[in-house]
Structure 1
């Protein structure tokens, strides 16, 4: 995970808090900081962070466009 994304995430909540929101241990979340958020959890992580960090920011390899993975806005 990029350092800028890490800092942005920590400005929203701690690793422990994110772990609680996702029913994961803080150590697991820390592993994501060192490597990558697992592909199957990217959207859940973004949602847990109130979409302040997009799936594209977390995993641009899986979500190449900035709006990929975001919920559809209702008209």
Structure 2
């Protein structure tokens, strides 16, 4: 199973591109990968940069819960 962060990086083309879009340094993202946890405060921005292809609900169901029915149907 592909992890949500890996999908975000795949969509954007590289970890460096993701870091640039968020205005952070690439090692921060490496830390997220090592901890296998995306900071909840970054989930909305990641959802936005992927055009909703990766949702906050996928990234952090412990914080955002399950996707609303209309989002799952899309």
What is the CA deviation profile of residues 17-75 of structure 1, one whole-angstrom value per residue up to 9, with x for unaligned ones? 000000011111111122211111111111122211000111110111124xx8xxxxx
Aligned pairs for 1:45-56 (under 5 A) are: 45-56=46-57
Q: Which consecutive residues of structure 2, in runs of 5 or more, have no partner in the other structure?
A: none
Q: 1 CA distance for matches of 2:4 and 2:40?
A: 16
Q: TM-score, normalised on structure 1?
A: 0.73
Report the count of equivalent residues. Answer: 67
Q: Which consecutive residues of structure 1, in runs of 5 or more, have no partner in the other structure?
A: 71-75
Moved beyond 6 Å, runs of 4+: none
CA RMSD of aligned residues (A): 2.0
